[in-house]
Amino acid sequence: MSRIGKAPITVPKGVEVTPSKGTVTVKGPKGTLTQKMDSDIVVELKDGIITLTRPTDQKRHKALHGLYRALIANMVKGVSEGYKTEQELVGVGYRASNKGQMLELSLGYSHNINFQLPVEIKVTTASEKGANPKVTLESHDKALLGMVAAKIRSLRKPEPYKGKGIKFTGEVLRRKAGKSAAKK
Digit-by-digit pLDDT tens for the chain (184 residues) are 468 888 999 999 999 999 998 899 999 999 999 999 998 999 999 999 999 999 998 999 999 999 999 999 999 999 999 999 999 999 999 999 999 999 999 999 999 999 999 999 999 999 999 899 999 999 999 999 999 999 999 999 999 999 899 999 998 989 988 887 556 5
Q: Which helix (H) or strand (E) holds 69?
A: helix 59-80
The two beta strands, 16-20 and 134-139, are unpaired
Q: How many CB atoms lie within 10 A of CB 48?
A: 13
Q: Which fold has domain 2-80?
A: Outer Surface Protein A; domain 3 (3.90.930)
* Nearest residue to 12 via CA among 58, 80, 66, 68: 80
The neighbouring-strand residues paired with 43 are 52
Instruction: Please give the Cα distance from 82 to 16 (Å, whole number).
Output: 15
**3-class secondary structure, 47:** coil
Paired strand residues for 123 = 137
Domain with CATH 3.90.930.12 in the chain: 2-80, 83-168
DSSP state, residue 178: -
Q: How far apart are the first and last CA of the chain?
A: 51
| The CATH fold of domain 83-168 | Outer Surface Protein A; domain 3 (3.90.930)
